[in-house]
Chains A and B, each alone.
Chain A
Amino acid sequence: MKLRANLVIGGALFALAIVVGLLAPWLAHTDPVMDANLMNAEEPPSWTWWFGTDAQGRDIYSRVLYGARVSLTVGIVSQLINSVIGVALGLSAGYFGGWWDDVVNALTNLMLAIPSLIFALAIMAVLGPGLTSLLIALGLTNWSFTCRLARASALSLRSQGYVQAATVLGYGDVRIMITQLLPNMLGPIVVIGTLGMGSAVLSEAALSFLGLGVRPPFPSWGSMLSEAREQITTAPWLSIFPGLAIFLTVLGLNLLGDGLRDILDPQSRSRRT
């Protein structure tokens, strides 16, 4: 099989972000929070300070590394919550149909009608800032696409011979949904999930930028951008590096999603063989 550029580049960028987050304590030059030193305030990038320093003299390079932890945790965990909710609702709605399908459809339409970031903002307003609130807010507000997709797949898979065969063999509904339907719709769900992770990273940045994310002084890319906005002309590196980190991570996830779609989509697969 030919390796596709989007899959390789996307996968590499995402892997890089994960490695950076995991190895932050070893890769970082200084402690991202404690090592403030006003003597080094607002140093531009140099051999000593790779990405420069902020107004309190903290090393931006180290803070960007640690920031990956927040961004990726939020991206991965909140998207997992979304995927589980979306699959559970959509799959059961498509499989059972009837009133349950109507309920799920109404709920999905409601979610689609409200911009998810606004909805997340509302939840954050109730829960207050912090990592847990972020995970909950973003995890509960972006499942509608997954749900739609799972429902449509369940509807079309329901009439497949192997689903009917399973019924004939005495499988119960839950067993049919888990063994016959879910594995056969997993490809597109993973694609949507990967793209959703990208948008969760962006949403985290946006919410943190608005001061609703992880509490300072612990770094997240969004909160770093937020703190940097007053010095954007005087010390642009404060914005450039966290911005670049967000950009590359989201780009990586989108490329990865596209690449996965290319190999998982049966139509494009048959076109190549």
Chain B
Amino acid sequence: MTGSPLLEVEDLRIDLDDGLRRVAAAEGISFRINRGETFGLVGESGCGKSITALALIGLLRPPLSIGGGVIRFDGQEIQHLSAARQRQLRGNRIAMIFQEPMTALNPVSPVGRQIAEMFVLHKGKSWREANQLAVEALASVRVPAPERRVKDYPHQLSGGMRQRVMIAIALACGPDLLIADEPTTALDVTVQAEIIELMRNLCAERGTAILMISHDLGLVANVCRRVAVMYAGRIVEERGSADIFRAPSHPYTQGLVDSLPRLGSRAALGRSRLKEIAGVVPAITRFPDGCRFNPRCAQATDICRATAPQTEGLEAGGFVRCHHHA
């Protein structure tokens, strides 16, 4: 099955059911990630990136649920798997790390034990073997003196070290796919770069595919080969990351690119955010008719307010969802 893509998402829909009515929090989500590939999902906060990730690993909880579509992992449809089968995939073949390195580790358990638990849980190792493997795993994420560090509790480690531990835990079982949801948002900039570099190198060495989720287009485009831009529960553009920078096609993507500091002017970042996109992402229950971006779009016309645009393939590869795309 090595020829088929690792992950294929087709027309995924996520429903929000508040007891009164059922609305689509995300719909028409389609993308594929090949083995060992790095794929990015970008969009402002509230666009539906995290719920998409949760849907992939079968962890949507009421009021959210999968409303339709297919999620195929390694050739097998996984959206209807039993809870037990999904649990066997999670942490083992699909791993995920997320934003808070401060709270994602159990405060009363030594970090080595938390790594070792993965080998016991998914690989059926004895605690003895697992503890040994935990030291190796900690060494692989370049934590100095790993044989001593395994005994440390999370509060004894810095934020960056904790995120390294999280990466060690996530990669412990040699997953095929690592989902990283805003993995460095809570860290300061220098540490961010180190962690991203580490994650990218480790995954490249092991052939682990990455689904990198962030609000930061610059970060995602830097790490990933291809990028999908999400807005208000829909993917509005998907391109190679070089293309998306050079010639963004969707007005929303253009907005994201314009709001990035240009190369060499990073110092200005703190003082003046360049060209923010005016307005905010609408709440799920207030999605506008037609194109969901129309209230914030400078190019919007009557058709944008009346009909939702369909996806359109681009010559250079990828697709865009806009009536008046560049």
A49 at the A/B interface (Cβ < 8 Å)?
no
Contact across chains for B118 and A180 when beta carbons are under 8 A apart: no
The answer to whether B87 touches A172, judged by C-beta atoms less than 8 angstroms apart, is yes
Q: Are B108 and A160 in contact (CB under 8 A)?
A: no
Q: Which of B67-110 contact A (CB under 8 A)?
A: 87-92, 95-96, 98, 100, 102-109
**Nearest CB to that of B118 among chain A residues?**
A169
A160 to B121, CA, bound (A): 21
Instruction: Tell which of A169, A171, A175 touches B95, judged by Cβ atoms closer than 8 Å.
Output: A169
Minimal beta-carbon separation of B200 from chain A (angstroms)? 21
Majority-rule SS of A interface residues:
helix
User: Do A170 and B106 have beta carbons less than 8 Å apart?
Assistant: no
Chain A contact-residue range equals 10 to 19
Does A179 touch B at the CB level, under 8 Å? Answer: yes
Cβ of A165 under 8 Å from chain B: yes
Q: Is A168 an interface residue (CB 8 A)?
A: yes
Q: Does B122 contact A (CB under 8 A)?
A: yes
Question: How many Å lie between the Cα of A172 and that of B104 in the bound state?
Answer: 17
**Given known contacts A169-B169, A170-B87, is B107 in contact with A184 (CB within 8 Å)?**
yes
Q: Which residues of A contact B107 (CB under 8 A)?
A: 162, 184
Contact A168 B106 (CB under 8 A): no
Q: Does B15 contact A (CB under 8 A)?
A: no
Which of B59, B91, B96, B104 meets A162, CB within 8 Å? B104
Q: How far is the CB of B280 from chain A (nearest CB, A)?
A: 26
The 7 closest A-B pairs by CB, nearest first: A161-B103, A170-B91, A169-B91, A170-B90, A165-B104, A183-B108, A162-B106
B-side residues, CB < 8 A to A, are 57, 59, 87-92, 95-96, 98, 100, 102-109, 117-118, 121-122, 166, 169-170
24 CB contacts below 8 A, A to B, read A161-B100, A161-B103, A162-B107, A164-B104, A165-B104, A166-B106, A167-B59, A168-B59, A168-B96, A169-B90, A169-B95, A169-B118, A169-B121, A169-B169, A170-B88, A170-B122, A171-B87, A171-B121, A179-B106, A179-B109, A179-B117, A183-B109, A184-B107, A186-B108
